[in-house]
Amino acid sequence: MEASRTYFGRARSLTIGLLVAVIFVAGFFIGVQYSVSRAQGGLSLPDDVQATFEPFYQSYNLIQDQYIEDVPVETLVNGAISGMVESLDDQYSSYADPETFAVTSNDLSGEIEGIGVVISLIEDTEEIEVVNVLPDTPAEEAGLQEGDIFVTVNGEEVAGLNTLELAVRVRGPVGTTVDITMRRGEELIDFTIPRARIEIVEVTSELLDGNIGYVRLANFSANARDQVSVAIQELQDQNIEGFILDLRGNPGGFLTSATELAGLFIENGVILEEEFGTGETRIFKVEDGVVNQIYDDGREEVYSENAAYAGLDMPIVVLVDERSASASELVAGAWQDQGVATIMGVTSFGKGTVQVQNTLVNGGGLRVTIARWLTPNGASITGIGITPDIIVEMPELAEGETLPEGVDPQLDAAVDYLLEQLSAGQ
pTM of the model: 0.81
Q: Average pLDDT, stretch 267-292?
A: 94
Question: Which residues in 219-240 are b (16+ Cβ under 10 Å) and which e?
Answer: bbbbebbebbbebbeebeeeeb
Q: Above 60 in pLDDT, residue 328?
A: yes
pLDDT digits (tens, 9 = 90+) for 376-391: 999 999 999 999 999 9
Query: Long-range pairs for 52-55 at CB < 8 Å and ≥24 separation?
Result: none
Q: What is the pLDDT of residue 109?
A: 52
CA distance 169 to 188: 19
CA distance 387 to 368: 27
Q: What is the pLDDT of residue 410?
A: 97
CA distance 201 to 376: 30
423: DSSP letter: H
Number of Cβ within a 10 Å radius of residue 170: 24
CA distance 132 to 134: 6
Q: Select from 120, 389, 345, 31 the least CA-distant residue to 216.
A: 345
Q: Are 79 and 86 in contact (CB under 8 A)?
A: no
What is the SS3 assignment for 334?
helix
CA distance 375 to 56: 42
**Who contacts 100 (Cβ-Cβ below 8 Å, separation ≥6)?**
26, 164, 165, 167, 168, 364
> What string of H, E and C letters represents the secondary structure of 24-68?
HECCCCECCCCCCHHHHCCCCCCHHHCHHHHHHHHHHHHHHHHCC
What burial class does residue 294 get, using C-beta atoms within 10 Å of its C-beta: 0-12 exposed, 13-18 middle, 19+ buried?
middle
Q: Are 123 and 16 in contact (CB under 8 A)?
A: yes
CA distance 335 to 378: 14
**Helix or strand (DSSP H, E) at 117:** strand 117-122
Which of 28 and 175 is assigned the larger pLDDT? 175
Q: What is the pLDDT of residue 195?
A: 93
> Strand 365-374 vs strand 117-122: parallel, antiparallel, or unpaired?
unpaired
Q: Average pLDDT, stretch 99-113?
A: 67
What's the chain's average pLDDT?
Answer: 85
Q: Select from 162, 188, 186, 166 the least CA-distant residue to 115.
A: 166
Question: Which domains are assigned to the chain?
Answer: 124-199 (2.30.42.10), 203-353+372-396+405-425 (3.90.226.10)
Q: How far is CA 374 from CA 10, 38, 319, in A?
A: 17, 24, 20
- Amino acid present at 352: G
Would you list the DSSP string of 162-219? -HHHHHHHH---TT-EEEEEEEETTEEEEEEEE-EEEE---EEEEEETTTEEEEEE--
Q: Average pLDDT, stretch 363-377?
A: 92
Q: Select from 407, 426, 418, 412 the least CA-distant residue to 211.
A: 418
Q: Are 110 and 221 in contact (CB under 8 A)?
A: yes
Q: Are 319 and 245 in contact (CB under 8 A)?
A: yes
Q: How far is CA 174 from CA 57, 201, 219, 362, in A?
A: 42, 19, 23, 26
C-alpha angle 267-252-301 in degrees, rounded to nearest 5: 45
pLDDT digits (tens, 9 = 90+) for 59-101: 999 999 999 999 999 999 999 999 999 999 988 888 888 887 8
Q: Above 90 in pLDDT, residue 26?
A: no
pLDDT digits (tens, 9 = 90+) for 390-418: 999 998 877 667 778 789 999 999 999 99
Q: In the β-sheet with 212-217, what is the strand arrangement from edge to edge?
A: 203-208, 212-217, 242-246, 316-320, 342-345, 390-391
